[in-house]
Structure formats: structure tokens, C-alpha cells
Amino acid sequence: MYRKTRGFTLIEVMIVVAIVGILAAIALPAYGQYVERARRNDAKAMLLEAAQYMERRFTESRSYIPVTDAVLTSAGFAKSPRDGTAMYNITVTRTATTYSLTADPSGWTPKECGSMSLDQLGNRGRSNTATSVSDCWNR
């Protein structure tokens, strides 16, 4: 009597391993770009919220001087995301009539954009000159 063999041959297993390897080689870089873009979008949202906060303070006192990094921290604008590990640290540089908010990467190095900034006129910036400002702020 002959028994039918069951299972996979070594060749079949190696083909599956090769296919999984190819898929992983494609998927992991795309996933990394997605994560970086999500972190950047969260930092952009935090910069825009902090800018609104700065404008509300200016409306009250006619000056940006009272808003320090400590005030931004107590208002919840010190880091992005607000909860968990900081991916960007938010800082403010200000005079009586101007300010510049900056989101600096914290503990990681983004491939695109680097630090991002926003001033009282709505001018947007980034530290990585290899990527355009519109690419950093509009994606």
C-alpha cells in the first residue's frame, strides 16, 4: 500500500520565503514614509494651534512678549504629539510684534523637511533645503 505524502517541499517553502521577502522590501520603506508623514502632519497641526494661541494672547495684551516657552508648555503646546513620546519639540522666539514657532524633531531624524517653522505672517519654513516648503507643508 502506498501512502500519500503530505506537507510542503523545501522548494515550495523557499518560494514562499522569497515572495514574503520581496513584499517586505517594498512595504517597509512605504510604511516608514507613512509614519514620518503622520508625525509631520501632527507637528504642523500643533504649530497652527500654537499660532492661534499666540494671536489670542496678542489680542489681549497687544504684545507677543508674555508668551514664553513655559506659557506654551502650560497651554499644551510644548511637544507633538501632546501625549506619549515627543516626536517634535515646539519652541517660540518672539518680540513685541513678531514671533516664530519652530517644531524641532526630538529623538529621530526625518528624511524630509527637518525642523518646520511658522511666523506671525503665516510664512512657513523648513530646515531641510532639499525638500521644498510646499512639499513639507502641503503633503
95-125 confidence digits (pLDDT tens): 999 999 999 999 888 888 889 999 999 999 9
pTM score: 0.79
Residues 6+ away with beta carbon under 8 Å from 53: 67, 72, 75, 77
Instruction: Answer whether 36's CB lies under 8 Å from 110's CB.
Output: yes
Burial 84-106 (b: 16+ CB within 10 A, else e): eebbbbbbbebeeeebbbbbebe
Name the more confident of 43 and 112.
43
Inform me whether the pLDDT recorded for 52 exceeds 90.
yes
| Amino acid sitting at position 20 | V
Name the more confident of 118 and 33.
118
Tell me what pLDDT residue 4 has: 73
Among 47, 50, 53, 49, smallest CA distance to 103 is for: 47
**pLDDT tens digit sequence for 54-108:** 999 999 999 988 888 888 888 888 899 888 899 999 999 999 999 999 999 998 8
DSSP string, the chain: -PPPP-S--HHHHHHHHHHHHHHHHHHHHHHHHHHHHHHHHHHHHHHHHHHHHHHHHHHHHS-STT--HHHHHHTT-SEESSSSS-SEEEEEEE-SS-EEEEEEE-SS--SS--SEEEETT--EEES-TTS-HHHHHH-
pLDDT band of 13, cuts 50, 70, 90: very high
Tell me what pLDDT residue 136 has: 82
pLDDT band of 1, cuts 50, 70, 90: low
